[in-house]
Amino acid sequence: MDKIAIVLGACFLPSVIMNLESKVKFIQWLSPVVCCYALGILAGNIFASVWDVELATGLSEVSVMLALPLLLFSVDLWGWSKLAKSTIVSFLVLILCVMLASYLVGILYKDQDPEVWKMAGMLVGVYVGGTANLTAIGKILEVRDEVFVTLNAVDLIIGGGYFFFILSFGVKILTKFLPAFNHTGTDEGEMDLLNWRALSLSKKFLHSILLLILAAMIVAISVFISNHITGASVAGIIILSLTSLALLISFNKKIRHFEGSQEIGQYLLLVFCFAVGSLANVSQLFSNNLWYFAFCSLIMFGSIILHFLCCYLLKIDRDTAIITSMAGIFGPAFVAPMSQVLKNKAILVSGVTTGLVGIAVGNFVGVIVAYCLK
């Protein structure tokens, strides 16, 4: 297939999905991430004989490298530390539960595949901060391509099941066990960032160019650091370096509140989802890989159950427990729709911030668990 057509498809379709999200309920329910990944799978399998795998792989690597710093620019670590105690406690408990579940399941499945330790670390990252971390840790640990693609696909399927459960029955069930949210003294206003959609087209273009230049500079510096230390471009050093640099830059208030970093970062993440989805071979996904489903299910649902049990024992309210769970497992993009389901705008800011912090710390805790298992 013509390389230009692949690039245009990977860049154009995510933009269409993002624009349709607010208009099409099915996309809202399924999420743009799943939609783009599904479109990628369809494209890669329908045009398998002419699909340029090398180009798709390159697109996935470039898009995620640029997306990570953009997503991290909005992190307010100092502000997050000042949030309600229950939010921080709930999220810290979630991190510990995910690490514990991944470590135990990793031991259980250690003989199934020589890269199980890497897979467990990747799932720690994704269940603490979302899809971006799955990719980052996979690059850091240099996991096999087929393992990465299969694990990513299985995670999306199982994650979709949990999302459907929370939207349909989960909230009602948890209401019976967890205390109600205390609205006293809460601020239900929106974040102090200007609405990206309200900006003129020229300002959006300018912001996009500036942010992409800054993200590209961070990636370039990270590559330089890797080459200076090892003499080669080592994915692990590059990812950890750009994560650290982006967090350092996020302390600058002007950059942290510069409109567009989240939107462009999410767009690039969707480009990545399409590109990496196109690498998935459906015929191979369900052949001899059924144990992946059990592996992911045990880690995801084991950590979720542990988290909600701890929230019950610590008397953390229902809304905080759910929003931190969603922010960690799915990332900040899922916080807004979940706050609408809970009919609680007061948790929007803390939930989004928690999700961003999850992206920041997920890479580090994921690598820690992986090497503990190794």
Sign, CA dihedral 291-293-297-300, equals positive
pLDDT the model gives residue 193: 45
Q: Do the domain assignments include residue 194? A: no
Cβ atoms of 83 and 350 within 8 Å: the answer is: yes
Cβ atoms of 53 and 280 within 8 Å: the answer is: no
Residue matched to tokens 């995910």? 98
SS3 assignment, position 255 = helix
Q: For residues 121 and 368, what is the distance between their CA atoms, to the nearest angstrom?
A: 7
Q: For residues 157 and 90, what is the distance between their CA atoms, to the nearest angstrom?
A: 25
Q: Do the domain assignments include residue 196? A: no
Q: What is the CATH number of the domain that holds 105?
A: 1.20.1530
- Rounded to two decimals, the pTM is 0.68
Tens-digit pLDDT profile for the chain (374 aa)? 577 877 888 888 888 888 888 788 888 777 787 788 788 888 888 887 778 878 887 888 788 788 878 877 877 777 666 666 888 899 999 999 999 999 999 999 888 888 899 999 999 998 998 777 887 888 888 888 778 878 877 887 787 778 778 766 788 888 888 888 775 544 443 444 446 667 778 888 888 899 999 999 999 998 898 888 877 776 667 777 887 888 888 888 888 878 888 888 888 888 887 887 787 766 666 666 778 889 999 999 999 999 999 999 999 988 889 989 988 888 776 676 677 677 776 676 677 778 878 887 888 899 999 999 87
Number of domains in the chain: 1
Residue matched to tokens 């899809």? 131
CA 220 to mean position of chain CA atoms: 23
Q: Do the domain assignments include residue 208? A: no
Q: Do the domain assignments include residue 76? A: yes
Q: Do the domain assignments include residue 135? A: yes
Going by C-beta distance under 8 Å and a sequence separation of 6 or more, which residues neighbour residue 249? Answer: 69, 73, 214, 218, 255
Q: How far apart are the first and last CA of the chain?
A: 41
Range of the domain at 156: 3-183+215-373
Q: Do the domain assignments include residue 118? A: yes
DSSP conformational letter for 345:
G
Here the tokens at position 54 are: 């090398």
Q: Do the domain assignments include residue 222? A: yes
Report angle CA 234, 237, 239 to the nearest 5 degrees.
105
Q: Do the domain assignments include residue 198? A: no
Residues 6-30 as b or e (16 or more Cβ within 10 Å = b) = bbebbbebbeebbeebeeeeebeeb
Give the residue among 119, 92, 86, 43 at the shortest CA–CA distance from 319. 86
| Region of 113 on the Ramachandran plot (φ > 0 left; ψ -120 to 50 alpha; else beta) | beta
DSSP conformational letter for 190:
P
pLDDT the model gives residue 1: 54
